[in-house]
Each structure stands twice: as C-alpha cells, then as structure tokens.
Amino acid sequence: MKKLLTLPVLTTLLLVGVQLSAKPIPPANSFSLLDGAQQQKDPQPPMDADKAMVFTGKVIKTKGQFVLMDLAAKATYALDDQEKAKTFEGKTVQVTGTLETASNTIHILNIKPVA
C-alpha cells in the first residue's frame, strides 16, 4: 500500500523538478548592467541603408504633421524628421528612406525636390 502511494508522489516531484529546471526564475530585485536599448524585449530593427527605398510625392501638412502623399501609389506616409519635411512643404520631393510598415512611417535618409 505504501508503495502505491509513494510512486505517484515521486512521479509528481520528478515532473515538478523538471519543469523548474527548464525555466530559471530571476531574482525579484535583479538589475542589469545593460543599457535600456539592449533590455527591450522587442527592439526596433536598426535602420539599414541597404534596405532604403525611394518614394516620390508631395509633402503636405495634415493634422499638424508633415506627411508624404504619394499619388502614384495612392498612399500617404508619415515622415519621421519633421524639420527636414517642413522645408519642403507643398513641394514634390523624392525621399530616400526606410519604411517602418507597422506605423507606415518613412525614416528619412535623404530628401530632395523633384525638378
């Protein structure tokens, strides 16, 4: 009778031990020496100039923000550098940059007027 009760208890203890060893628990008040950017769980991918794209459109101001209105693609993109965009308000420009699809924002690498 004791052997019948001991076997399930040992099996349970063994399974709990395996689960605990698979998931180490960090101390409650642990601090990392890494800076905040390296601690993020979902860091933004770095801007990669190799993945730069060229967008052509008109810089307009809507809802207090400068955006690029691309009539050919029938799309509007937010522009990350509002100061650069401001100098081209109302003009047709060519923007070289990387597109962050999650926010539909172009990270401007270069912006120039179209002749």
Per residue in 30-50, pLDDT (tens digit) is: 333 344 434 334 445 554 556
pLDDT over 80 (residue 2): no
pLDDT at 1: 53
CA distances from 8 to 12, 13, 21, 56, 114 (A): 6, 9, 20, 70, 77
User: Yes or no: is domain 49-113 CATH 2.40.50.140?
Assistant: yes
pLDDT over 80 (residue 94): yes
Tell me the average pLDDT of the chain: 75
Instruction: Summarize the confidence of residues 54-67 as an average pLDDT.
Output: 97
CA distance 44 to 99: 12
For the chain, how are helix, strand and coil distributed in percent, rounded to 5? 30, 35, 35
